Structure 1
Amino acid sequence: MKLPSSSATELNKQDLRHFLKTQDFTKKELSDILKLMAMLKQARKDNAVPQLFKGKSVAMIFEQPSTRTRVSFETAATLLGGHALFLSPKDIHLGAKESLEDTARVLSRMVDIIMARVDDHSTVAGLAQYASVPVVNGLCDWLHPTQIMADLFTMQEHLPENKKLSDLTVAFVGDATNVTSSLMFACTKFGMTFKHICPDRFKAPQEWINIALENCEYSGGELVITDDTAQVEGCDIVVADSFYWFGQEDEKEIRLSTFIPDYVVSEDLMAKAGADAMFMHCLPANDQRECSREVMESANSIIFDEAENRLTAQMAILAYFTYKHNTVPSAETVAAHKNKIEGFLNSL
């Protein structure tokens, strides 16, 4: 007797959505996720997180290592009553012995959501193409949307008096990283002024600029691309990130010599921004390279609030993308299955 699949693939998936990039979502939808984050963070503070992921599992695919991504997703799943599976390249045959398509289809039969932290955007996009459960981009070479939800929420928690998100001016000082792109897109979507301050050689590519400018047309935001560090003046938030990443090791020396010392976020540079300017960094930070330890430890640094909010973001993402498909059985159904299965086991 063949039974229908008992997996999440059998749920109503006409409205299946993936979280590959914030550009796929409206400002209203992203704001809803931020509201959910606020409620879940308060629930965690009260040790009363609702079991919104009870009985569910998230498969976490890691082609790249990460402290914050792994710990935040595993903890989020546990707090919400579910389970997380860590899958490294040694654990699965992603695109090697098994095709990307087959991996996505197999995992969709066994878990409720897939998170992938990958080398190339085409990998997470391919998983989303073939999966029948939500796929979340935990980082790729182009984007880091889960980080940016934490960043937006952290900015919201530390808003200057009488300002809202759309009033903020954010300066990203440094290389055109996957955090730069995601923050550029999200800030301009919310109507902020976003400044990318970077040596011309490593500035954001025109494709990113075009996306951000299109956002500005609808939101009223502003985009500034400049190599002038004096442009930090008057900014509410100053953001830093690594000057080189995986796959850029052969450029390490030229990158460091180009960025250091002018683009290091130092106490002097923060002073140019203003006494109330706050400092953010997605971490891990190479202090004395892209930023100084003094800035990281200053009263204006909110980097550890930002890190904690990775957990806040992951709780919201797991709940937001799976809750609508929850099927809550009646007490009678649970009892019927329990009695039937226990009766069989007792008869053995």
Structure 2
Amino acid sequence: MSFQKFPRHLLSIGDLSRQELLKLITRSAEIKHESKRRFANRENCQLGGLEGQNIAMIFNKRSTRTRVSVETGVNSLGGTPMFLGKEDIQLGVNESFYDTSKVVSSMVAGIVARVSKYDDVASLAKHASCPVINGLCDTFHPLQALADLLTIQEAFGSFKNLKLAWIGDANNVLHDLMIACAKVGIETSIANPKDVKIRSDILDMVHESSKESNSKFSVGNDPATAAKNADIVVTDTWISMGQEAERQVRLKQFAGFQVTEKIMQLAKPHCKFMHCLPRHPEEVSDAVFYGPNSLVFPEAENRKWTTIAALEALIVNRGEI
């Protein structure tokens, strides 16, 4: 697929075609293999492409995996990451997203934004003269979905005939993961508490994304039903940043949704467990999280390799995937 317009942004997995998504996962695997080969042989691990260029990291929310993966990813491509936390710049205090976007994008080759609201990252992208990548917002988390797909491909060899069960919240991670699975052909079975609903517009995106791959998805309220015959079981935090005051209410709301060995026994014998981190014990038992079928740490590492592939595609290759 040839993409002519520049800058091109990545705000959601929905911004990618099925073929582009598959190419990004393939490229991520290539980058990972080559980087590890060079490291093992004490060779220069820098891939190049961003020499002499700066990437702005506008982070209004704290982060471990996103910050480390973006900073190391930019360095791997030869560029310089510029971390701009909420205490570092005027954004949201004395300056609008429009003004910030116009100013910052005029001085850098790309922006990775980790913000509160989708409208905020969309505003940055609308007015920026360089590519904007969504590092997380309240609606989408595309970089996590890319890492999840790479992890699944490494574990199973392909995406064919797989079922993924999600047990937990209807959040940004789930949204992009459902869209990604629909595009590559992974069946998804979702279990949310009865009073936790997936937005109808997100379900419409999943339905549209499933047409080319003929993938299936279902949404219910029973963790056991979702986990039955699953190849992968996934959960996430029940209490996202900004919801700390609701902790007791949320814990009561999600009672019975912890991923345990009992839940995993309902899945296939080889079933893998995934979690994007940070993890809390109420979400998944120690036996599952640290067990032999857990992929949580390779999944976290893969944030780096898929981030490099996304930076390369949107900035180095100017949107050509």
TM-score, normalised by the number of residues in structure 2 = 0.92
CA contact (8 A) 2:141 2:172 kept: yes
In 2: Cα distance, 1:253 partner to 1:186 partner: 32
Shift of residue 325, structure 1, vs aligned partner:
4.9
- After TM superposition, give the deviation of residue 298 of structure 1 in Å: 0.7
Classify the secondary structure of the residue corresponding to 2:188. Answer: strand
- Residue 41 of structure 1: aligned partner: 32
Q: Conserved in 2, the CA contact under 8 Å of 1:171 and 1:235?
A: yes
Deviation at 1:319?
1.0
2:142, 2:291 → 1: CA distance?
A: 27
Alignment of 1:49-64 (within 5 A): 49-64=46-61
Question: Which residue in the other structure is 2:168 paired with?
Answer: 174
Change in CA separation of 1:120 and 1:46 when aligned onto 2, cut-off 3 Å: same
- 1:116 aligned to 2:107? no
SS state at 1:201 partner:
coil
Provide TM-score, normalisation by structure 1: 0.85
Q: Does residue 240 in structure 1 map to residue 231 in structure 2? A: no
**How far is the alpha carbon of 1:182 from its aligned partner?**
0.9
Structure 2 contact 188–216 (Cα < 8 Å) conserved: yes
The amino acid of 1:242's aligned partner reads T
Unaligned residue ranges in structure 2 (runs of 5+): 39-44
Structure 2 contact 187–215 (Cα < 8 Å) conserved: yes
Please state how far the C-alpha of 1:107 moved relative to its aligned partner. 1.2
Distance apart, 1:246 and its partner CA: 2.1
Which whole-Å CA distance do the structure 2 matches of 1:166 and 1:252 have between them?
A: 38
Q: Verify: 1:141 aligned to 2:113, yes or no.
A: no
Q: Partners in 1 of 2:168 and 2:317 — Cα distance?
A: 40
**What do residues 309-332 of structure 1 show as CA deviations (whole Å, max 9, x unaligned)?**
000111111111122359xxxxxx
Task: Find the residue that maps to 1:37 and give its secondary structure.
Answer: helix
Structure of larger gyration radius: 1
Q: Distance in 2 between matches of 1:275 and 1:291?
A: 18
Q: Distance in 2 between matches of 1:314 and 1:196?
A: 26
- Kept in 2, the 8 Å contact 1:143–1:182? The answer is yes
Shift of residue 54, structure 1, vs aligned partner: 1.6
The answer as to whether partners of 2:6 and 2:318 remain within 8 angstroms in 1 is no
Quick one: which of 146, 151, 154 aligns to 2:151? 154
Q: Which residue of 1 aligns with 2:123?
A: 126
Q: Is the 8 A contact 1:171 1:196 kept in 2?
A: yes
CA distance in 2, matches of 1:270, 1:49: 40
Q: How does 1:315-326 map to 2 (within 5 A)?
A: 315-325=308-318
Which whole-Å deviations, capped at 9, do the CAs of 1:281-332 have from their partners, x for residues lacking one? Answer: 0000002x10011111111000000000000111111111122359xxxxxx
Task: Find the partner of 1:306 among 279, 299, 304.
Answer: 299
**Letter of the 1:207 counterpart:** D
Matches within 5 A, 1:9-24: 14-24=5-15
Q: Provide Cα deviations, 1:131-171, integer angstroms capped at 9, x if missing partner.
A: 010000000000100011000110010016xxx31421111
- The question of 1:257 aligning with 2:258 is answered no
The CA deviation at 1:203 is: 2.9
| Pair 1:277 & 2:271 matched | yes
- 1:201 lines up with 2:195 in the alignment: yes
> Is the Cα contact below 8 Å between 1:52 and 1:80 reproduced in 2?
yes
SS at match of 2:106: helix
Residue aligning to 1:31: 22
Task: Tell me the residue number matched to 1:70.
Answer: 67
Q: Is the partner of 1:116 in helix, strand or coil?
A: strand
Task: Indicate the percent of aligned positions where both proteins have the same amino acid.
Answer: 39
Deviation per residue, 1:30-54 (Å, 9 max, x gap) = 1111111111101210224421222
Over aligned residue pairs, what C-alpha RMSD do you find? 1.7
**In 1: Cα distance, 2:283 partner to 2:318 partner:** 43
- 2:70 alignment partner, SS class: helix
Distance 1:270 1:59, change over 3 A: same
Conserved 8 A contact 1:235-1:277: yes
* Contact 2:22-2:184 within 8 A present in 1 as well: no
Match of 1:340 in 2: none
Q: Secondary structure, in 3 states, of the residue corresponding to 1:114?
A: strand
Q: Secondary structure at the match of 1:136?
A: strand
Unaligned 5+ runs, structure 1? 1-12, 327-348
Q: What is the one-letter code of the residue matched to 2:284?
A: C
> How far apart, in 1, do the equivalents of 2:68 and 2:209 lie?
33
Task: Note if contact 1:53-1:318 (Cα within 8 Å) is conserved in structure 2.
Answer: no
Contact 2:7–2:318, Cα closer than 8 Å, also in 1: no
Give 1:32's aligned amino acid: K
Contact persistence 1:43–1:49 (CA under 8 A): no
Which is further off, 71-80 or 213-222? 213-222
CA distance in 1, matches of 2:234, 2:59: 26
Contact persistence 2:8–2:318 (CA under 8 A): no
